[in-house]
């Protein structure tokens, strides 16, 4: 699960894609040759980033972008996202095929490690129940 904030500033999503090499890039002519030998030009190479609200089941962010940066062990995407506090979302990044799926939770709390979604809703009752075994 990815934890993000409700903000007007750009946020970075770090992820490990399902496949690192989706196709082969021919640098000389800037084309991509896919696994089924489909040839795409540089204008067609990119990713669709879709974020869907789990409560309303509607897309809040659906962008075609080539701004996913690859690092040695993970990829990053940086953008201003229209997220609302205390709402869960699903993230799906697709290229030629789906390369990443995850959940996003939006919260503005600073101590995310201590955050609990049911804080104050469950009260533990201390009892003196004794069990008799025969």
| In the predicted structure, residue 28 carries a pLDDT above the cut 50 | no
**Residue 53: CB atoms within 10 Å:** 18
Q: How far is Cα 32 from Cα 39, in angstroms, rounded to an integer?
A: 6
Query: 84 phi and psi, to 5 degrees?
Result: -115, 145
Q: Which residue bears the tokens 């021919």?
A: 26
Q: Residue 109: what pLDDT?
A: 81
Where in the chain are the domains?
A: 2-108
Q: Tell me: the pLDDT tens digits for 115-133?
A: 666 666 666 667 777 777 7
Q: Which residue bears the tokens 């084309």?
A: 31
| In the predicted structure, residue 54 carries a pLDDT above the cut 90 | yes
Q: Residue 128: what pLDDT?
A: 73
- Of 90, 100, 101, nearest to 17 (Cα)? 100
Q: Which residue has the higher pLDDT, 34 or 3?
A: 3
Q: Which residue bears the tokens 């030009």?
A: 41
Average confidence (pLDDT) over 55-79: 88
Q: How far is Cα 72 from Cα 124, in angstroms, rounded to an integer?
A: 46
Query: CATH assignment of 2-108?
Result: 2.60.40
Do the beta carbons of residue 11 and residue 81 sit within 8 Å?
Answer: yes
Average confidence (pLDDT) over 46-68: 90
**In the structure encoding, which two tokens stand for residue 49, read together?**
């980033």
In DSSP terms, 64 is beta-bridged to 48
Q: Tell me: the pLDDT tens digits for 86-125?
A: 999 999 998 778 889 999 999 888 776 666 666 666 666 6
């Amino acid at each position: 699960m990815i934890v993000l904030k409700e903000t007007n500033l750009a946020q970075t999503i770090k992820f490990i894609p399902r496949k690192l090499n989706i196709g082969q890039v021919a640098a000389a002519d800037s084309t991509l040759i896919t696994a089924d030998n489909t040839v795409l030009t540089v204008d067609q190479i990119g990713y669709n980033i879709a974020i869907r609200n789990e409560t309303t089941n509607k897309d809040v962010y659906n962008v075609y972008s080539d701004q996913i940066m690859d690092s040695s062990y993970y990829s990053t995407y940086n953008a201003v996202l229209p997220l609302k506090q205390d709402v869960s979302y699903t993230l799906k990044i697709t290229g030629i095929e789906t390369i990443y799926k995850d959940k996003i939770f939006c919260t503005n709390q600073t101590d995310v490690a201590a955050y609990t979604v049911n804080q104050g809703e469950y009260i533990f009752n201390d009892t003196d129940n004794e069990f008799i075994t025969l």
